[in-house]
């Protein structure tokens, strides 16, 4: 990567994007806007958007360096339906994007590998934002590691959880039951839990409001 190239690279993206795509191809709507929360490097966005040319893909992130990386990936691999990123903090009571024209077309929210690398308030904020933005029947897709019935699903996830909590006590692999409980408070019903490679899960909620 040269001095002018602001693209960031996340090795996990290369490993998980095809498996995630296979799930998204079965659940995403045929039209509308996908709001990607915590787009990170932008590698998922530039990979997924061309696969769904009839959908608008709207990336977001909190960190300025991630927004720069997303823009750099867009410059490197332009896709007509991939929009410029918005800065978005899920913990805010109101998201700035809610005041944008694109908000009315958002019918899907995609969030990959965020809630375990963030304080619990980020999960709560994500669910509250999904309730505000998604129409009835709108989809919230989560991907990442989760505990089931209070237990890790693999020793590697337990070790990962310990490393996260050592980095920040507010981080950690979340129990899916706790995530579902927050979702229910915001009119989101759990629809599917799909086992994924490397002891991860795709978790799909529908807005029942």
- In this prediction, residue 1 carries a pLDDT of 45
Residue 4 domain flag: no
pLDDT averaged per 10 residues, the chain (length 209): 74 93 98 98 97 98 97 93 97 95 97 97 98 98 97 97 97 98 98 97 95
189 domain-assigned: yes
Please report whether residue 56 resides in a domain. Answer: yes
Tens-place pLDDT, residues 53-75: 999 999 999 999 999 999 999 99
**Phi, psi dihedrals of residue 172, rounded to the nearest 5°:** 150, 155
Q: What is the CATH number of the domain that holds 27?
A: 3.40.50.150
**Domain range for residue 59?**
11-207
Q: How far apart are CA 119 and CA 98, in angstroms?
A: 23
Contact present, 138 and 206 (Cβ < 8 Å):
yes
Q: Tell me, yes or no, whether 122 lies in a domain.
A: yes
Q: Judge whether 47 lies within some domain.
A: yes
Give the span between the Cα atoms of 182 and 121, in whole angstroms: 11
Rounded CA-CA distance 111/95 in Å is: 15
Entry pTM: 0.96
Task: Kindly report, residue by residue over 144-163, the tens digit of the pLDDT.
Answer: 999 999 999 999 999 999 99
| Counted domains in the chain | 1
**In a domain? residue 152:** yes
d(CA 116, CA 34): 22
HEC string of the chain equals CCCCCCCCCCHHHHHHHHHHHHHHHHHCCCCEEEEEECCCCCHHHHHHHHHCCCEEEEEEECCHHHHHHHHHHHHHCCCCCECCCEECCCCCCCCHHHHCHHHHHEEEEEEECCCCCCCHHHHHHHHHHHHHHCCCCCEEEEEECEEECCECCCHHHHHHHHHHHHHCCCCCCEEHHHHHHHHHHCCEEEEEEEEEHHHEEEEEEEECC
182 within domain boundaries: yes
Whether residue 2 lies inside any domain: the answer is no
């Amino acid at each position: 990567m040269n001095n002018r190239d602001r693209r960031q690279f996340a090795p996990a993206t290369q490993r998980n994007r095809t498996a995630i795509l296979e799930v998204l191809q079965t659940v995403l709507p045929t039209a509308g806007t996908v709001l990607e929360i915590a787009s990170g490097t932008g590698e998922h966005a530039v990979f997924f958007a061309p696969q769904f040319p009839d959908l608008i893909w709207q990336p977001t992130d909190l960190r300025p360096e991630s927004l720069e990386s997303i823009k750099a990936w867009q410059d490197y691999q332009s896709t007509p339906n991939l929009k410029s990123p918005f800065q978005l903090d899920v913990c805010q009571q109101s998201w700035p994007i809610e005041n944008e024209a694109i908000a009315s077309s958002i019918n899907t929210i995609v969030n990959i590998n965020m809630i375990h690398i963030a304080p619990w308030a980020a999960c709560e904020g994500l669910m509250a934002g999904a309730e505000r933005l998604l129409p009835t029947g709108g989809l919230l897709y989560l991907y990442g590691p989760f505990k089931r019935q209070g237990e890790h699903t693999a020793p590697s996830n337990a070790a990962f959880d310990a490393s996260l909590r050592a980095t920040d006590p507010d981080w950690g692999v979340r129990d899916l039951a706790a995530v579902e409980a927050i979702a229910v408070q915001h009119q989101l019903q759990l629809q599917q839990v799909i086992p994924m490679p490397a002891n991860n899960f795709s978790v799909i909620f529908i807005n029942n409001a």
